[in-house]
RNA sequence: GCCGAUGUAGCUCAGUUGGUCAGAGCAGCUGAUUUGUAAUCAGCAGGCCGGGGGUUCGAAUCCCUUCAUCGGCUCCA
C-alpha cells in the first residue's frame, strides 16, 4: 500500500502501483473526466503512470499550467503524427509545449516545403487522429536501443539528442502510429484534444544555432473545448487592435519611409509631442535626483569605439565608418553614448568627494540591426536612449543602485505600469573567464544588486550566466494591460569602460582609484517605450501626456465663436484644446474624435452659449452632463494636477 | 542574415482559371446641409497594381530578380 497525501493534507491509502487516473476516479467521476495530469512529489507525470511510493500529489485540471503543459505536449505529438502521415519520411527535431500552445520543429525533406496554406490540411488530419482516442503509452528504453531505433528511421536529430542523454533516463512515448523520444508527461489519450488551431510556420535553426540547418517550425494551440479556442483567438484579435504600428498610424504618431531607410522612425507632430512630454517628465525626475544633463554628438572617431571595445565586437556587423577628405580619418555613427560620457568624465580630474557624478543624455544612437529583426518602434536602427551614466566609488555602488531603482519604480508607477518584475543577471557560477574585472569587485557588485533588490522588495528572479561580459545587471519587465510582458528599463554595472578609458579619481588616501560606472535607462529607448505605452493603453494615454486633451464640438457654425471662447479659456489654463469646426453633425464629430482617443469632448450649442456651460463627454464613458465652463476648467486642471502631483510624490 | 507569407489609391480591402480589371468604402477636395451625444447628401479628384527584367498577341494575375512589410529563428553593446 502507498500513502497518498492530497493538497489539503488529507492522506489516503491505495494499492501499490495505483495510477493518478485511478485516484481521480476514486474521488469522483467528474474529476476523472476533467483531470489531465498529476504532480507526484512535485514532478509532473502521466495520469496512467503507476505510483509505487508514498507521495504528495496534486491532480491538475485544465486551469493549471501543469495540465496545459501535458495537454499541449501531447498535442505536439499528435501534430507530429499527422505530419508523418501526410509527409512520410519527415524527420523530427523537438516539439515542446510553450506559454500558449506548442510547436514542433520538423524537416520534411529538402524538396518539400510546408507553408501556411498546408496548415488546414494538417489540422484536419490531427482532428481525425485525435478522434481515434489513441492512448499515449510510455516505455523506458536503453540508450543503445534508442539509438538503433531512431538510427533505423534515419532521424539524425533524434539520435543527436539521444547521444546527449544519460543512459537509463531515456523514455519513449507512443500513440497511434507515432513514437517519439520524450520525457513526457502526456495525456492518457488523445480524446480531450477537441479544438485545434495551427497558427503559423516559421524557420528555426536546429538547436538554435544559425550555423546549422533550418527546420520548419509549426506553431499550434489546442483546447479541450471549442469555446476556449474561440476565446483565445479573440484575445489575439484584441492584441492586434492594440498593435502600436496600427495605432501609431491611426493617431499619426510616427511613420517610416523607405526613402529614409528601414528601421529609421519619423516622429510625426503628435508623436513628437508625446515623446517630448515623456522626456521632460524624466528630465525633471532626474534633476531632482542629482543628474546633470550633457549633450554629445551623433558621431565620434572610430578610435573612440576601438578604445571602448564596441568596434571590435560589433564593428563589422554595423553601420560602416564614415570617411572624410582627410586621409585615414574615420568616424562612426555612435552606437552607444557611454564612450562620449567617459570622455566628459576625463575632461577634468575628480576627487572622491565629488562622486558620484551622474551624467544624463537623451542620446540618439544607431545600430545596424539585422533586417529580419526590425519591428515597428520596438526594434529600430536609430533610436534615442534615456541614457545616464553614474560614476561612483565602490562603496557608493549599492546606494546608487537603489536610487536608480527608485527612479524606475517612480516612472513605472506614474505611467501606470503597476505590475512589473525584475531579473538579476549574474556571472556564470563556474566559468569566470569570459568576464572582465576582478573577482572581488564582481562579488561586491553582485552582492550590492541582490541586496538592493531585497531591500526594495522587488519581485525578481536571478539568472546565472546572463550578465554582460563587463558587469552584472538588473532588468525590468512590465506586464501590460492585457498581460503581455515587455522588457523596459535596465541598470548595468560596468567595470570594463572605466578600465579601457583609464578613468580615475583621487581618493582620501591621495591615491588614484578606478571609479565604477553604472549604465541605466528607465525607458530603455524612447521608441520602444512609446511603443509599449501605446500597446499598454491602447492609445488612451494618461491625460497629462496625451497630445490633445479636449476638443470642442460646436453643434453648428453659429456656435463657432462660443467654441473659440471655450477653447481660448482652456488653452489659457494650459489645457490642450482644439475645435472641430467641420460642417458635420455632432454624431460624426463625436465618433471621429472618440476614435482619435480624445479624453474630453465638449459639445456646445444654443443652451451652452446662453448659460456659459459646456456639455461634457468623457472618452469611452459617454455623456457626463452639462457643466459651467469655469467648473470644467477647474475639473480638468485638477485631474491633470492630480496625476502630476501623484507623479511628483511617488 | 535565415525560413515562410504578403505587397492593388493616404487608410482598409475587392479584383474567379492572364483578355473593358484598374474597383469599393473611409480619408481628401468642391458644393449643398447648420446639424444636440459614435458615420448628412451629392459631385470631383486619387493608383504605371512595390521596383526591375522576362514569358505571351495580351500580365495586377504566370516566371525570375530586387526592395519593403508581416510571422518566426538567430542577434540585441
pLDDT tens column, A366-397: 999 999 999 999 999 999 999 999 999 999 99
| Cβ-based neighbour number of residue A148 at 10 Å | 14
Task: Confirm whether A367 is a catalytic residue.
Answer: yes
Classify domain A550-649 by CATH number. 3.40.50.800
Task: Kindly give the interhelix angle for A629-649 and A397-414, rounded to the nearest 10 degrees.
Answer: 160
- C-alpha distances (whole Å) from A84 to each of A91, A110, A176, A201, A295 are 8, 15, 11, 16, 61
* Catalytic choice (A158, A302, A389, A409): A389
Query: Where in the sequence of chain A do the CATH 3.30.930.10 domains occur?
Result: 254-298+334-537
Chain A span 228-257 residues with beta carbon within 7 Å of strand B: 245, 249, 256
Return the pLDDT at A644. 82
* Catalytic choice (A387, A480, A548, A580): A387
Answer for the pair A483, A396: CB distance below 8 angstroms, yes or no.
Answer: no
Give the containing element (helix H, strand E) for A647: helix A629-649
CA distance linking residue A149 with residue A159, whole number of Å: 9
Chain A span 155-194 residues with beta carbon within 7 Å of strand B: none
Bridge partners (DSSP) listed for residue A139: A172
Q: Which residue has the cell 455632432?
A: A586
Classify domain A2-61 by CATH number. 3.10.20.30
CA distance linking residue A531 with residue A522, whole number of Å: 15
First to last CA, chain A: 59
Q: Which residue has the cell 513628437?
A: A272
Bridge partners (DSSP) listed for residue A198: A220
Return the pLDDT at A322. 93
Query: Where in the sequence of chain A do the CATH 3.40.50.800 domains occur?
Result: 550-649
Lowest mean pLDDT among A254-258, A345-349, A468-472: A468-472
Comparing every residue's Cα with the C1' atom of nucleotide B40, the nearest one is: A585
Average pLDDT over residues A223-229: 95
CA distance linking residue A45 with residue A42, whole number of Å: 9
Q: Is the pLDDT of residue A650 over 60?
A: no
What is the distance in angstroms measured between the alpha-carbon CA of A448 and the sugar C1' of B24?
A: 64
Q: A611: Cβ under 7 Å from strand B?
A: no
Average pLDDT over residues A241-257: 95
A280 vs A647: which has the higher pLDDT = A280
What is the distance in angstroms measured between the alpha-carbon CA of A593 and the sugar C1' of B35?
A: 17
What is the distance in angstroms measured between the alpha-carbon CA of A263 and the sugar C1' of B51?
A: 20
Average pLDDT over residues A42-71: 93
Cis amide linkage into residue A384, ω under 30° from 0: no
Comparing every residue's Cα with the C1' atom of nucleotide B39, the nearest one is: A588
Task: Confirm whether A342 is a catalytic residue.
Answer: no
What is the distance in angstroms measured between the alpha-carbon CA of A117 and the sugar C1' of B60?
A: 22
Q: Which residue has the cell 566559468?
A: A431
Bridge partners (DSSP) listed for residue A273: none
Q: Which residue has the cell 497558427?
A: A199
Q: Is the pLDDT of residue A493 over 80?
A: yes
CA distance linking residue A598 with residue A580, whole number of Å: 12
Average pLDDT over residues A619-625: 93
Comparing every residue's Cα with the C1' atom of nucleotide B34, the nearest one is: A556
Q: A596: Cβ under 7 Å from strand B?
A: no
Q: A612: Cβ under 7 Å from strand B?
A: no
* Catalytic choice (A286, A385, A396, A423): A385
Strand B contact nucleotides, protein CB < 7 Å: 1-5, 11-12, 32-40, 67-77
* Catalytic choice (A217, A473, A528, A536): A473
Q: A585: Cβ under 7 Å from strand B?
A: yes
Average pLDDT over residues A156-173: 91
Task: Confirm whether A45 is a catalytic residue.
Answer: no
Contacts of residues A308-314 at CB distance under 8 Å and 24 or more positions apart, as own/partner, are A308/A336, A308/A338, A308/A339, A308/A342, A308/A497, A308/A500, A308/A501, A309/A496, A309/A500, A310/A335, A310/A336, A310/A339, A314/A367
Return the pLDDT at A648. 66
Answer for the pair A196, A127: CB distance below 8 angstroms, yes or no.
Answer: yes
Q: Over pLDDT 70: what percentage of chain A?
A: 99
Nucleotide nearest to A201 (CA to C1'): B4
pLDDT digits (tens, 9 = 90+) for A29-48: 999 999 999 999 999 999 99
What ranges in A116-242 are assigned the alpha helix state H? 119-130, 143-153, 156-163, 226-241
Comparing every residue's Cα with the C1' atom of nucleotide B10, the nearest one is: A249
Return the pLDDT at A649. 59
Chain A span 370-399 residues with beta carbon within 7 Å of strand B: 370-376, 379
Q: A205: Cβ under 7 Å from strand B?
A: yes
What is the distance in angstroms measured between the alpha-carbon CA of A204 and the sugar C1' of B76?
A: 18
* Catalytic choice (A186, A519, A528, A597): A519
Average pLDDT over residues A71-85: 96
Mean pLDDT of chain A: 93
Q: Is the pLDDT of residue A217 over 70?
A: yes
Task: Confirm whether A338 is a catalytic residue.
Answer: yes
What is the distance in angstroms measured between the alpha-carbon CA of A604 and the sugar C1' of B21?
A: 48
Q: A319: Cβ under 7 Å from strand B?
A: no
Q: A560: Cβ under 7 Å from strand B?
A: no
Q: Which three cell numbers stand for residue A224?
A: 479541450
Closest residue by Cα to residue A493 from A563, A434, A460, A444: A444
Lowest mean pLDDT among A50-54, A280-284, A467-471: A467-471
What is the distance in angstroms measured between the alpha-carbon CA of A270 and the sugar C1' of B13?
A: 27
Q: A115: Cβ under 7 Å from strand B?
A: yes
Task: Confirm whether A313 is a catalytic residue.
Answer: no
Chain A span 614-643 residues with beta carbon within 7 Å of strand B: 615, 617, 620, 622-623, 626
Q: A587: Cβ under 7 Å from strand B?
A: yes
What is the distance in angstroms measured between the alpha-carbon CA of A529 and the sugar C1' of B23?
A: 40
Q: Is the pLDDT of residue A527 over 70?
A: yes
Comparing every residue's Cα with the C1' atom of nucleotide B76, the nearest one is: A369
pLDDT digits (tens, 9 = 90+) for A99-152: 999 999 999 988 888 998 899 999 999 999 999 999 999 999 999 999 999 999
pLDDT digits (tens, 9 = 90+) for A534-557: 999 999 999 999 999 999 999 999
Query: Where in the sequence of chain A do the CATH 3.30.980.10 domains occur?
Result: 66-233
Contacts of A29 (CB under 8 A, 6+ apart): none
Longest CA–CA span in chain A (Å) reads 93
Nucleotide nearest to A592 (CA to C1'): B38
Q: Over pLDDT 90: what percentage of chain A?
A: 86
Chain A span 451-470 residues with beta carbon within 7 Å of strand B: 468
Answer for the pair A358, A291: CB distance below 8 angstroms, yes or no.
Answer: yes
Select from 3.40.50.970, 1.10.1040.10, 3.30.930.10, 3.50.50.60 the CATH code of A254-298+334-537. Answer: 3.30.930.10
| Cβ-based neighbour number of residue A350 at 10 Å | 17
Answer for the pair A548, A536: CB distance below 8 angstroms, yes or no.
Answer: no
Classify domain A66-233 by CATH number. 3.30.980.10
Instruction: ipTM value, please give it.
Output: 0.95
What is the distance in angstroms measured between the alpha-carbon CA of A215 and the sugar C1' of B73?
A: 9
Nucleotide nearest to A585 (CA to C1'): B35
Answer for the pair A22, A14: CB distance below 8 angstroms, yes or no.
Answer: yes
Amino acid at each position: 500500500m502507498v500513502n497518498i497525501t492530497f493538497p489539503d493534507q488529507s492522506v489516503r491509502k491505495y494499492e501499490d502501483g495505483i495510477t493518478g487516473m485511478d485516484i481521480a476516479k476514486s474521488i469522483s467521476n467528474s474529476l476523472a473526466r476533467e483531470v489531465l495530469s498529476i504532480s507526484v512529489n512535485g514532478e509532473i507525470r502521466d495520469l496512467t503512470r503507476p505510483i509505487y511510493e508514498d507521495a504528495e500529489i496534486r491532480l491538475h485540471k485544465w486551469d493549471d499550467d501543469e495540465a496545459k503543459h501535458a495537454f499541449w505536449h501531447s498535442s505536439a505529438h499528435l501534430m507530429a503524427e499527422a505530419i508523418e502521415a501526410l509527409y512520410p519520411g519527415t524527420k523530427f527535431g523537438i516539439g515542446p509545449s510553450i506559454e500558449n500552445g506548442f510547436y514542433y520543429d520538423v524537416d520534411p525533406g529538402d524538396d518539400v516545403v510546408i507553408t501556411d496554406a498546408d496548415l488546414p490540411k494538417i489540422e484536419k488530419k490531427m482532428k481525425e487522429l485525435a478522434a481515434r482516442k489513441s492512448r499515449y503509452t510510455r516505455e523506458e528504453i536503453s540508450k543503445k536501443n534508442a539509438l538503433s531505433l531512431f538510427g533505423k528511421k534515419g532521424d539524425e536529430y533524434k539520435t543527436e539528442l539521444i547521444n546527449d542523454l544519460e543512459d537509463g533516463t531515456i523514455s519513449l512515448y507512443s500513440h497511434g502510429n507515432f513514437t517519439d523520444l520524450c520525457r513526457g508527461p502526456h495525456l492518457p489519450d488523445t480524446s480531450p484534444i477537441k479544438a485545434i488551431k495551427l497558427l503559423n510556420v516559421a524557420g528555426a535553426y536546429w538547436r538554435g544555432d544559425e550555423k546549422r540547418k533550418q527546420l520548419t517550425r509549426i506553431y499550434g494551440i489546442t483546447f479541450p473545448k471549442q469555446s476556449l479556442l474561440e476565446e483565445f483567438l479573440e484575445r489575439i484579435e484584441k492584441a492586434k487592435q492594440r498593435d502600436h504600428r496600427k495605432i501609431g498610424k491611426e493617431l499619426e504618431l510616427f511613420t517610416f519611409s523607405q526613402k529614409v531607410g528601414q528601421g529609421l522612425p519619423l516622429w510625426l507632430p503628435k508623436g513628437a509631442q508625446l515623446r517630448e512630454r515623456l522626456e521632460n517628465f524624466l528630465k525633471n525626475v532626474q534633476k531632482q535626483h542629482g543628474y546633470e544633463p550633457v549633450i554629445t554628438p551623433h558621431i565620434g572617431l572610430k578610435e573612440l569605439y576601438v578604445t571602448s571595445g564596441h568596434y571590435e565586437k560589433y564593428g563589422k556587423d554595423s553601420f560602416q565608418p564614415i570617411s572624410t577628405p582627410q586621409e585615414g580619418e574615420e568616424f562612426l555613427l555612435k552606437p552607444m553614448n557611454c564612450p562620449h560620457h567617459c570622455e566628459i568624465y576625463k575632461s577634468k580630474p575628480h576627487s572622491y568627494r565629488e562622486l558620484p557624478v551622474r551624467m544624463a543624455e537623451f542620446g540618439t544612437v544607431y545600430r545596424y540591426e539585422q533586417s529580419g529583426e526590425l519591428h515597428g518602434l520596438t526594434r529600430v536602427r536609430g533610436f534615442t536612449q534615456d541614457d545616464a551614466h553614474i560614476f561612483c566609488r565602490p562603496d557608493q555602488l549599492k546606494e546608487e543602485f537603489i536610487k536608480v531603482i527608485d527612479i524606475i519604480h517612480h516612472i513605472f508607477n506614474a505611467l501606470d505600469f503597476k505590475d512589473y518584475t525584475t531579473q538579476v543577471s549574474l556571472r556564470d557560477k563556474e566559468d569566470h573567464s569570459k568576464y572582465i574585472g576582478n573577482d572581488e569587485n564582481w562579488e561586491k557588485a553582485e552582492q550590492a544588486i541582490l541586496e538592493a533588490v531585497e531591500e526594495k522588495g522587488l519581485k525578481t528572479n536571478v539568472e546565472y550566466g546572463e550578465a554582460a561580459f563587463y558587469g552584472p545587471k538588473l532588468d525590468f519587465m512590465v506586464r501590460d494591460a492585457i498581460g503581455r510582458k515587455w522588457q523596459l528599463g535596465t541598470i548595468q554595472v560596468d567595470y570594463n569602460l572605466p578600465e579601457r578609458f583609464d578613468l580615475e579619481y583621487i581618493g582620501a588616501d591621495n591615491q588614484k582609484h578606478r571609479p565604477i560606472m553604472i549604465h541605466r535607462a528607465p525607458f530603455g529607448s524612447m521608441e520602444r517605450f512609446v511603443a509599449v505605452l501605446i500597446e499598454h493603453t491602447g492609445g488612451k494615454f494618461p491625460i497629462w501626456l496625451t497630445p490633445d486633451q479636449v476638443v470642442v464640438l460646436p453643434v453648428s457654425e453659429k456656435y463657432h465663436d462660443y467654441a473659440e471662447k471655450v477653447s481660448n479659456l482652456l488653452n489659457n489654463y494650459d489645457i490642450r484644446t482644439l475645435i472641430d469646426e467641420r460642417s458635420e453633425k455632432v454624431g460624426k464629430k463625436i465618433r471621429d474624435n472618440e476614435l482619435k482617443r480624445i479624453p474630453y469632448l465638449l459639445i456646445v450649442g444654443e443652451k451652452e452659449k446662453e448659460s456659459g456651460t459646456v456639455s461634457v463627454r468623457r472618452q469611452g464613458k459617454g455623456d457626463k452632463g452639462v457643466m459651467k465652463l469655469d467648473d470644467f476648467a477647474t475639473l480638468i486642471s485638477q485631474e491633470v494636477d492630480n496625476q502630476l502631483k501623484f507623479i511628483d510624490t511617488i
